[in-house]
Structure formats: structure tokens, C-alpha cells
């Protein structure tokens, strides 16, 4: 399988919001030893990163690197609306922990101009010997990058690609066509198959923490030219995703991992803790879609 599959890594939190180190290590091991993913995307939306203090982010990067070692590819998402924090995290993960690839979400909230966005990315990579993958997720950031914007970002040789979490398939096709040598990792799990058809290099997603086997089978079917099998798997996946979304995305993925014997912990406030009804529904989802 030439296309790579990355889990957008969850963080296990204790009930009081502190990091559950044992649980986080278990999530890492589950992804490596059971899911057999190619890599982990650490510190992204799925890791509840944007609700964390700098020291907590550093600790999570440290735990994951210590547990995973060089077993799989690791991508550290260091982006922040605070550029100095982003630079500090980039320096820490690369120079202190040995991450080889970093990623950064587009700076959000203040409607930054594109020259400001480009400055942000150039500054993050300026003083570190690492490659950077732009994290484009306009549904959550409100920041939409155009084809020409990407072209200007890619002028920096350290910026090697994009985590493309976007339903704009016209832009995706144009990106692939214009930048055949840049890495495009697709971030919308429920639309993996059409993204594969447009030539993405792989995928990063939250549901791969529990659904990696299906995603890998779908990629294998696609690469073998068995489009009907790939489509059937995508239908199954989307039934699962619909059920997860209807019950609460991050809470439910953590509950599913609990059913798999992984200490996935709680979500961080102000995300709410799962209700008894959510727990019951999650167990039903597990029995229907994931239990062997």
C-alpha cells in the first residue's frame, strides 16, 4: 500500500482535565500495534490541542515520542494563534524530541491577511531543521487558502505539503494537478474515496483511531482497481461515522476505545463528559460496527 494512513491522535485526560499519561500511551500503542497505522498526527484538533497550555502540549509531544519512538511517522502540530508559542513548540519537538515533520494550523480568528499567514509559516520553520505540512481546515478556522496562496507558501522549500481537511474537491484536484511533488494528506474521513480518486498521498483522521482496518482495506481495494469494494467499504465507514457524530464525536471515539480495552479517558472541559445514554449508544455502535 503506497498511500499512508495516519491517526489524528487523541489525548487521554483524567476527569479533572489533566493528562492521563497511561491512557495516552495506550492510545499510541493501540494505533501502532492493533491499527498498524503508518503514522500519528499529534496535537491536532482531535487531541483537543487548542484548549491546552504550552507546558501540557509539550508533555503530550514528549509522551508520544517516548512511546512511539521511530516505530511510525510522527507529525507534530505546533500551530497556534500565538506565533511565539508555535515557534517555541517547533523548536522543542524538533531539537529536543527529534520530530522530523511538523504541521501548523492556519492562524485564525483575526481574519489575517495572506501576507500575514505566509509570514507566520515562514517564521515557524525558519529556525528548525524540519519539514512543515500546512494544516488547512477552513470549516473550523474560517481561513480558506486559494491555489495561488498555496503556490506562494510552497515557495518555501521546507513547506512540503498540506493536511487538507476540506470538502472543496475542485481545489483539491487543482492542487494535485499543479503540485504533483507536494504531499497532500486528506483529512475528511467520510470522503476518503473521492479524495483517493484525485490522487492524495494518504489520509489523516480522527476515526482511524477505531476504524483504521476499514480505511486500509478501502485504500487497498482502490489501489487494486476494485472500485465497487472500495465504495462498499466507504458506505460502511460512513454508517459508522454517522452513528459517531450523532452521539458526540470525541466522546464517542474515546468510549469506543474503552470498549476495545484502551484507557482513552475523558474529553477536556468545556466539552462535556459522556452521559449514561451516550455510553450505551457507544457500546451499541461498537457491537454493530467494530467488534470482531
Mean pLDDT across the stretch 21-32? 98
Q: Is the pLDDT of residue 103 over 70?
A: yes
The answer to whether the pTM exceeds 0.85 is: yes
Question: What is the pLDDT, as a whole number, of residue 159?
Answer: 98
Peptide bond before residue 270 is cis, with ω within 30 degrees of 0: yes
Q: Is residue 254 scored above 90 in pLDDT? A: yes
Mind listing the pLDDT tens digit for each residue in 82-92?
Answer: 999 999 999 99
Residues marked as catalytic: 135, 163
pLDDT at 248: 98
| CA-based nearest residue to 123, from 172, 180, 83, 173 | 83
Degrees to nearest 5, angle at CA 96 with 91 and 101: 60
Binding-site annotation: residue ranges for pyruvate: 46, 204
At residue 67, the pLDDT reads: 98
Looking at residue 2, its pLDDT comes to 86
What domains can be seen in the chain, in order of their start residue? 4-225 (3.20.20.70)
Q: What tens digit of pLDDT does each residue of 125-171 get?
A: 999 999 999 999 999 999 999 999 999 999 999 999 999 999 999 99
pLDDT of residue 1: 55
CA triplet 291, 217, 284: central angle to 5 degrees? 20
Amino acid at each position: 500500500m503506497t498511500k499512508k494512513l495516519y491517526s489524528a491522535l487523541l489525548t487521554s485526560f483524567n476527569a479533572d482535565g489533566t493528562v492521563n499519561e497511561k491512557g495516552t500511551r495506550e492510545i499510541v500503542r493501540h494505533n501502532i500495534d492493533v491499527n498498524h497505522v503508518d503514522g500519528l498526527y499529534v496535537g491536532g484538533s482531535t487531541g483537543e490541542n487548542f484548549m491546552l497550555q504550552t507546558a501540557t502540549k509539550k508533555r503530550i509531544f514528549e509522551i508520544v515520542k517516548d512511546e512511539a519512538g521511530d516505530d511510525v511517522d510522527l507529525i507534530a502540530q505546533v500551530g497556534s494563534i500565538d506565533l511565539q508559542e508555535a515557534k517555541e513548540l517547533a523548536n522543542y519537538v524538533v531539537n529536543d524530541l527529534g520530530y522530523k515533520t511538523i504541521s501548523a494550523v492556519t492562524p485564525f480568528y483575526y481574519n489575517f491577511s495572506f501576507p500575514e499567514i505566509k509570514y507566520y509559516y515562514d517564521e515557524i520553520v525558519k529556525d528548525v531543521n524540519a519539514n512543515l505540512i500546512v494544516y488547512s481546515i477552513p470549516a473550523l478556522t474560517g481561513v480558506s487558502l486559494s491555489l495561488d496562496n498555496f503556490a506562494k507558501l510552497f515557495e518555501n522549500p521546507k513547506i512540503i505539503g498540506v493536511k487538507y481537511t476540506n470538502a472543496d474537491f475542485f481545489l483539491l484536484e487543482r492542487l494535485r494537478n499543479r503540485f504533483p511533488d507536494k504531499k497532500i494528506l486528506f483529512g475528511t474521513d467520510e470522503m476518503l474515496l473521492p479524495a483517493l480518486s484525485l490522487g492524495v498521498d494518504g489520509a489523516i483522521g480522527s476515526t482511524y483511531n477505531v476504524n483504521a482496518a476499514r480505511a486500509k482495506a478501502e485504500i487497498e481495494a482502490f489501489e487494486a482497481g476494485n472500485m465497487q469494494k472500495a465504495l462498499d467499504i466507504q458506505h460502511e465507514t460512513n454508517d459508522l461515522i454517522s452513528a459517531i457524530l450523532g452521539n458526540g464525536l470525541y466522546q464517542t471515539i474515546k468510549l469506543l476505545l474503552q470498549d476495545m480495552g484502551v484507557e482513552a479517558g475523558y474529553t477536556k472541559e468545556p466539552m462535556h463528559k459522556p452521559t449514561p445514554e451516550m455510553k450505551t449508544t457507544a457500546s451499541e455502535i461498537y457491537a454493530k460496527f467494530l467488534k470482531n
